[in-house]
């Protein structure tokens, strides 16, 4: 692994190693106080974030490293029209590792082609979010002892929810997992999110599945990805988890959510011992410390693409290839950047 674009970039051995490191850090955080002294993280957030950005920044500071970057692209040269390519070339000259959140699908892969240091995808449009998945998996393993054998329901916005995409794909690499997809038909999982070997069931009725699963993973309807605000209004309140619905749920259910929530978990659920979403977010910082330690120990490497203008064929209007002029063109029926079908 040089960059983390999606969770499946990690081998099984790398995941094992990261989990062990996460446990060591959480047990003995003081041992890591100076582990990345003298190294710097560039935190490039082109989209709003609370947990992901702050937990990355806290992780780097707790490892003794430094952080710089922007959380509002309007305050950087992006507002003057600078391309992602130029921003990445420059910041990778100043930092030892980059973390990037961007509204366009495929932006992290694009950035990794121009970076001389590791790029971590902190969310690329409605596509992937591997460090949330890392957070989710360490939470599952820490609280259940293992990820294998899990029965999970993933509920909410499966169409635009990048956390759901990365999580489902990652889970399909474990043993004996079954997943129930709970969503409105308009917000169902895109075809490109394939989960080999893992049975996926669809059940739009949350009450019908709540008694049958070990984990309920709730997600927010992603307002910012809708082209039609009326469509968002129509779909946003389809699912609300309440104490009343939870009456039929197992006593050892884990209720997870990447957060932020926008009404899909009633606040009365917070005092239920099965609600672990705040603990999940806390684990996220330790998981990111483990990841930064790994990536910052890599030797320097060569940039893969210098870039010449080319014609990209991609059906997705929100693909990074629509705004980044010099990305390498890949042949094939699926766009290499955002994974949507090419015409
Ligand atoms: C998620 C994201 O940004 O995709 N948040 C997060 O990183 N924890 C989920 C969301 O915004 O709904």
| Cα separation, 217 vs 101, whole angstroms | 22
DSSP E strands in the chain: the ranges are: 40-45, 66-70, 97-102, 119-124, 151-155, 178-182, 200-202, 215-218, 254-256
The finding on whether 220 has its CB within 6 A of some atom of ligand 1 is yes
Measuring CA to CA, how many Å separate 95 from each of 67, 88, 246? 9, 10, 46
pLDDT at 304 over 90: no
pLDDT band for position 307 (50/70/90)?
A: low
Instruction: Answer yes or no: is the C-beta of 123 below 6 A from any ligand 1 atom.
Output: yes
**Contact partners, residue 255, CB within 8 Å, separation at least 6:** 215, 216, 218, 241, 246, 265, 269, 272, 274, 275, 276, 277
pLDDT of residue 306: 61
When pLDDT is cut at 50, 70 and 90, the band that residue 189 belongs to is very high
User: What's residue 302's pLDDT?
Assistant: 75
Query: What is the rounded distance in angstroms from the CA atom of residue 209 to the CA atom of residue 265?
Result: 16
Q: Is the pLDDT of residue 1 over 70?
A: no
Q: Tell me the whole-structure pTM to 2 decimals.
A: 0.96
Cα 164 to middle of ligand 1, angstroms = 10
Burial class from Cβ neighbours inside 10 Å (0-12, 13-18, 19+) for residue 30 reads: exposed
Is the CB of residue 52 below 6 angstroms from any atom belonging to ligand 1? yes
pLDDT grade for 249, boundaries at 50, 70 and 90: very high
Summarize pLDDT for 75-105 with one digit per residue, the tens: 888 888 889 999 999 999 999 999 999 999 9
Give Cβ neighbours of residue 279 (< 8 Å, ≥ 6 apart): 139, 143
pLDDT more than 70, % of the chain:
99
Report CA(284)–ligand 1 centroid distance (Å). 12
Q: Which residues contact 38 (CB under 8 A, 6 or more apart)?
A: 65
281 Cα nearest atom in ligand 1: 8
* Model pLDDT, residue 331: 83
- Evaluate: CB of 313 within 6 angstroms of ligand 1: no
Instruction: Report how far ligand 1's centroid is from the alpha carbon of 172 (Å).
Output: 21
Atom number in ligand 1 closest to CA 258: 8
pLDDT digits (tens, 9 = 90+) for 15-64: 999 999 999 999 999 999 999 999 999 999 999 999 999 999 999 999 99
Q: How far is the CA of 31 from the centre of ligand 1 (A)?
A: 30
User: Does ligand 1 lie within 6 Å of residue 256's CB atom?
Assistant: no
130: its two tokens: 């591997």
User: What integer is the mean pLDDT of 126-134?
Assistant: 98
pLDDT the model gives residue 297? 87
Please report which helix (H) or strand (E) contains residue 298, including its range: none
Task: Judge if the beta carbon of residue 162 lies within 6 A of ligand 1.
Answer: yes
Ligand 1 centroid to residue 299 C-alpha, Å: 31
CA 52–ligand 1 middle distance (angstroms)? 8
Name every residue whose Cβ is closer than 8 Å to that of residue 95 and which is 6 or more positions away in sequence.
40, 41, 42, 68, 117
């Amino acid at each position: 692994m040089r960059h983390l674009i999606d969770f499946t970039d990690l081998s099984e051995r790398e995941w094992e190693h990261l989990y062990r490191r996460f446990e060591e850090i959480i047990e003995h955080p003081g041992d890591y106080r100076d582990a990345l002294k003298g190294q710097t993280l560039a935190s490039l957030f082109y989209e709003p974030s609370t947990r992901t950005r702050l937990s990355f920044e806290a992780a780097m500071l707790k490892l003794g490293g430094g952080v710089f970057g922007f959380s509002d692209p309007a305050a950087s040269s992006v507002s003057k029209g600078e391309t992602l390519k130029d921003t990445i070339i420059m910041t990778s000259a100043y930092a030892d590792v980059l973390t990037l959140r961007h509204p366009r699908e495929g932006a992290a892969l694009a950035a990794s082609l121009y970076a001389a240091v590791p790029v971590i995808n902190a969310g690329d449009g409605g596509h992937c979010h591997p460090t949330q998945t890392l957070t989710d998996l360490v939470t599952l393993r820490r609280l259940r002892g293992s990820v294998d054998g899990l029965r999970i329901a993933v509920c909410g916005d499966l169409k635009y929810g990048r956390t759901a995409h990365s999580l489902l794909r990652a889970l399909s690499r474990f043993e004996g997992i079954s997943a129930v997809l709970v969503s409105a038909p308009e917000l169902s999982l895109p075809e490109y999110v394939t989960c080999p070997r893992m049975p996926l069931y669809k059940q739009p009725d949350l009450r019908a599945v709540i008694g049958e699963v070990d984990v309920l993973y709730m997600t927010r309807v992603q307002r910012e990805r809708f082209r039609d605000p009326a469509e968002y209004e129509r779909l946003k309140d389809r699912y609300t988890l309440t104490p009343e619905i939870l009456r039929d749920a197992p006593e050892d259910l884990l209720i997870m959510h990447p957060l932020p929530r926008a009404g899909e978990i009633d606040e009365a659920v917070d005092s239920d011992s099965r609600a672990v979403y705040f603990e999940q977010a806390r684990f996220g910082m330790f998981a990111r410390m483990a990841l930064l330690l790994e990536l910052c120990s890599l030797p320097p490497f060569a940039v893969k693409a210098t870039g010449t203008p080319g014609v990209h064929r991609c059906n997705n209007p929100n693909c990074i290839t629509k705004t980044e002029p010099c990305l390498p063109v890949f042949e094939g029926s699926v766009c290499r950047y955002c994974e949507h079908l090419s015409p």
